[in-house]
Structure 1
Amino acid sequence: MGYDTAHKTDVESVVPEEFGGMWFLKDELGTSELGVTVLELEPGGKGKAHDHGEGGQEEVYYVVSGAVDVHLGEETVTVGAEEAIRLDSDQQRQIENNGEERATLVLAGAPLDR
């Protein structure tokens, strides 16, 4: 078969429901390099600060609905519905929902060729 499908309910969320939810779909889709994650953040919710410098993975965050602030060290970039941001692997980042509605994002990441 030349394709695989997945739904976020096929896997358990790694974030408690009161904060939204985070579903890693890489294994369900059987991808070898590309990670695909659905993230939902309630108002006031935020992810952990991190980077992927060691693993060399760049990421793209696409906001499906709502808006989020992406904290990038000293800088903060607001990304709204139907917008995307690409992040270098060594860029420190933290996502935060400072809006009044739940934000839904699709996160995609893959290792850079080295």
Structure 2
Amino acid sequence: MEPWSSLAAEAPAELLRALADPIRRRLLERLVSGPSSAGELARRLGLPRVNISHHLGVLAAAGLVELRQRQAVVQPEALTRLRRYFDMALTAAAITLPGPGQPVAITTHR
């Protein structure tokens, strides 16, 4: 079995989609250091509170944060899933890619 086939089954697609937006990545980076309100995050990032609330909702729907009593809190289990996915991806890449200085074979499909 190809390493990538099992990797695709483990891909946390909803987490990756949520992190595709740079504002949401910045929010998550801020929240890793501790809970924060939408208002605090809006002030720190210089963005309208309504935008921050929207992005926090997307992060919450993906399971990356939990919204409790006006505070956004990072969900460690979601970060663990992301870490596991990237560890698997890096391992698969190390197995399938040539070493440093080795040519990469490029194939085209017609």
TM-score (norm 1): 0.26
TM-score (norm 2): 0.27
Flag the structure with larger Rg.
Answer: 2
